[in-house]
Amino acid sequence: MNHGIRSLALLMPLGVALLNSGCTNPPKSLGGEVGFVDGYLDATKLNGLMSDPSCAYIRFYNARRTSGDTQGTVIAIATKSSGEEIYNGTTLKYKMYDRISKGTTLVVDLTRAEAITRIGYVKAANEKSYAANFTRADVANLITSAGCNGVKLTPERLATYSMRMAPVKLAGTSGTVNPAPPSIVCTEPCPTFCGGTPSYYINR
């Protein structure tokens, strides 16, 4: 009987250690250190972001929906030409892609603090956190092209990590990349290129 108790006592710290290990080491992204696999946004959501007359760019951050989200996702926000994000915490928020349903993208509206938390999940997994800016004109060109009703974001490896944006046809629960117009790569991602005011980026 005593031997059984001693064995149980020895096993308990191991169980606790394994439990703690799972909590402190989030699972790795399916995309590797790039931190996400892909993300989508439909034309309606993008037009909503671009409806502000001061919008010059759409900025995308890689993120996780939860700490254990190995698929990863993107968070979108409109920005001014200065790089300042167009956000007021009520009617103007960050939009996090969740999934495609009935040919549209379902998103979660986030406050700045909530967006920072989702980006922090990527950092906690020791993966790369970065942002990519695409001009309003480029985004509009993709979503108004024939057969397209949204965009797809995927990781792109340059000297550092960035994103590629491609026009897509969203239908049902998936999106198909259109061959034209050609996809676009953000050549100046942050970090590395973070504009004149790096504090405008919430992944810094």
pLDDT tens figures, 49-96: 999 999 999 999 999 999 999 999 999 999 999 999 999 999 999 999
Domain contains 58: yes
Assign 9 a pLDDT band (cuts: 50, 70, 90).
very low
Domain contains 51: yes
Distance from C-alpha of 70 to C-alpha of 122, rounded to nearest angstrom: 9
Instruction: List CB contacts of 93: < 8 A, sequence separation 6 or more.
Output: 87, 109, 110, 111
Region 15-33: what's the mean pLDDT?
64
Domain contains 5: no
Largest Cα–Cα separation, the chain: 77
Assign 24 a pLDDT band (cuts: 50, 70, 90).
low
Q: Is the dihedral of CA 89, 192, 74, 165 positive or negative?
A: positive
Is the pLDDT score of 20 beyond 90? no
Assign 113 a pLDDT band (cuts: 50, 70, 90).
very high
Domain contains 18: no
Q: Which amino acid is at 39?
A: G
The mean pLDDT value of the chain amounts to: 90
Distance from C-alpha of 93 to C-alpha of 78, rounded to nearest angstrom: 9
pLDDT tens, residue by residue, 25-34: 789 998 888 9
Distance from C-alpha of 183 to C-alpha of 193, rounded to nearest angstrom: 21
Domain contains 151: yes
Domain coverage including residue 53: 31-200
Distance from C-alpha of 173 to C-alpha of 100, rounded to nearest angstrom: 5
Domain contains 94: yes
Domain contains 15: no
Supply the pLDDT for residue 25: 78
SS3 203: coil
Q: Which residues are bridge partners to 85 per DSSP?
A: 79
Domain contains 70: yes
Distance from C-alpha of 194 to C-alpha of 73, rounded to nearest angstrom: 21
Distance from C-alpha of 170 to C-alpha of 191, rounded to nearest angstrom: 31
Assign 204 a pLDDT band (cuts: 50, 70, 90).
confident
Domain count, the chain: 1
